[in-house]
Amino acid sequence: MAIGVPVIGTYVGGVVELITPEYSGLVVSPSDIDGLSTAIKKYINDAEFRSRLMINALKDCQLSELESYPVCIIGGGAAGITLAIALSRQGKRVLLIEGGDWKEVQNNDAYTGEAVSPHATTTEFRYQRLGGTTHLWGGRCVPLDSYDLSSATMYLTVVGL
């Protein structure tokens, strides 16, 4: 956007905070392949539309104040937040980027898919929000089986030690 390149984004993370749909870019659902195809065709086939969006995107970038951060942490889960706090307490300017809202669960379309676990779907155990999947942490105790109780020599033989 800052160099006048047309942008097509998805409704994931902070993208919609940077792009104003139909003004400075186009935004589609992450799972909408037809919508993405339509958006790309619109950019290619409509020069006036493309030019208008490029100009508006440049204006938006020039109006916003650009700040410099020596440290950028992507992901506001347990590790990201802990690291950001520790570094900021040392006086470092830290930018923490999170794909979700601070309170509400955002669009989980990016996590849809076939679940390997018989206990839950992929969207039930992934959260796009500040803190991420940490909000869902829990535990499950499974009984030990005979392999768990076998001697270490069995392992050493398998790996060739």
CA dist 144 and 150 (Å) reads 11
Of 31 and 155, the structure prediction assigns the larger pLDDT to: 31
Residue 156 in this model has a pLDDT that exceeds 90: no
User: Is residue 91 very low, low, confident or very high in pLDDT (cuts 50, 70, 90)?
Assistant: very high
In the structure, what pLDDT confidence band is assigned to residue 63 with cuts at 50, 70 and 90?
Answer: low
pLDDT above 60: residue 40: yes
pLDDT for the residue 17: 74
Which residues pair with residue 8 across a beta bridge? 26
The residue ranking higher by pLDDT, 161 or 60, is 60
Q: What is the pLDDT of residues 129-149, one digit of tens each?
A: 677 767 666 666 777 777 777
pLDDT-based confidence at residue 3 (cuts at 50, 70, 90): low
- 31 vs 147: CA distance, rounded Å: 42
Task: Name the residue with higher pLDDT: 12 or 133.
Answer: 12
pLDDT value at residue 106: 57
- pLDDT of residue 104 exceeding 70, the answer is no
Report pLDDT for 124: 64
**Angle at the Cα of 53 (from 47 to 56), degrees rounded to 5?**
140
Partnered with residue 97 across adjacent β-strands are 74
